Amino acid sequence: MSANGRIAGFEFRLPTRPARTQASARARLAPISGLLAAMRLSTQDGRVALCELPAARLATAPLDALAPRMLFALVGDLPADADPAALRAAWKARGVAIGWRDDSPPPALAGTRPDFLVLPEAHDPVELLKALRLARTRHPKVPLVALDVPDLGAMEAVLAAGIAYAAGRLEGDRTPQPGGALPPQARPLLQLLARLAADADTAEVVATVKSDVALSTRLLARINAAAMASTQTLGSIEQAVALLGRNALYGSVSQLLVLTAPPSLAMQALQSMTLARARLFERLAQQRGEPVPGALFTLGLASMLPALLRAPMADVLTAMPLHPQARLALESRGGPWADWLSLAEHLDTGDLASAADLVERFGGMAVVAAAMAEGWLFAVQGQSTH
């Protein structure tokens, strides 16, 4: 995430993450060609790709595998026979940014200015903010990056403090609020999604929307703000349903549901992740010839709602009727659709090398990366019309 609360890019990891102060033998030997290819694909839509890896591995990587907006946090030292100045010049020519942990610079690059610095690992917001303030005092003009941010609270803290980039598994913060329940404004949206998913007739859909004045107003405002309605102002729910069709209406209602989350910088990112995951699932389902791609969209959406709305999954499952396979995957990680959730988790963590077989089952990295890019475009468009 960048300081404005948007998803700026993705962190990638080797199958075995290198130690903080020196690269492990296994990490030094691990092939990184697939990882670099995945990073390169992820930068093609203007996002950054960050990876912490042994300096010796990057020193021996082919230059044509590197691309602008790749960020490498180096661990350990360069090979003894390497020319540090020549390597830095070659990496800079490829548009690559080079940094390292604030407390463990590569010895061969000690005394040189990094393009960014990674904060020492911290386990709570207080410790993280202390490290940020210390690094800013010591390196006032160097962009700072925080990795492994433990939860949404810590993410909010470092974003408010003005960090350049922060990375962490936001989806992992699933703890509901004390006595948490679905927000009242989410319930009519979930009910409408249930009607659409059940292929209710148009009159029933219109009646559901009209039964909630706030929902009617928000939905019409959103549809009229969208590009698809730029040539015609819609004055009634009947017109909107007739013009949009079920699929577009489903997407608009889903976007409204995601935007019911409390406003904050970290929540903006979680909203983007939710919409992007839902669209990723739907797009891959279409490409695989799944008979109900809309049900996979709903699976992606529902999998993120407990974290987004800070409500128990049981409440989501009660209020949002789902395809039986989606319910089985969410409740017990059972059934054939459990692989979709596993894929999303691997994509979220950036550990694609260890998920190579799973990625191949979904068409390969190029197919998955293209679907991811389409998902993020859907998310950006969904938030820009809010």
Core vs surface per residue 235-256: b (16+ CB within 10 A) or e: eebeebbeebeeebbbbbbbbb
Euclidean distance between CA atoms 216 and 220, whole angstroms: 6
Higher pLDDT pick, 28 / 215 = 215
Contact, 353 vs 30, CB < 8 A? yes
For 42-62, the pLDDT digits (tens) are 787 788 999 999 999 999 999
Q: Give the whole-angstrom CA distance, residue 337 versus residue 367.
A: 19
CA 57, 60, 66, 72: dihedral to nearest 10 degrees?
Answer: 30
**pLDDT value of residue 65:** 92
* Residue-wise pLDDT tens digits, 221-234: 766 665 444 555 55
> 23-49: per-residue pLDDT in tens?
444 444 345 777 788 788 878 778 899
pLDDT at site 227: 44
Q: What does pLDDT average to over the chain? A: 79
Please give the pLDDT value at position 121: 82
70 three-state secondary structure: strand
| CA 180 from centroid of its chain's CA atoms | 24
Beta carbons within 8 Å of 120's beta carbon, 6+ residues apart:
101, 102, 103, 131
pLDDT band at 381 (very low <50, low <70, confident <90, very high): low
Please say if the pLDDT value at position 385 is more than 90. no
Closest CA to 219 of 240, 239, 201: 240
pLDDT at residue number 74: 96
| Model confidence pLDDT, tens digit, residues 148-158 | 887 777 787 88
Cβ contacts of 213 within 8 Å, gap of 6 or more: none
Kindly state the DSSP code that residue 3 receives in the 8-state scheme. T
Average pLDDT over residues 322-349: 90
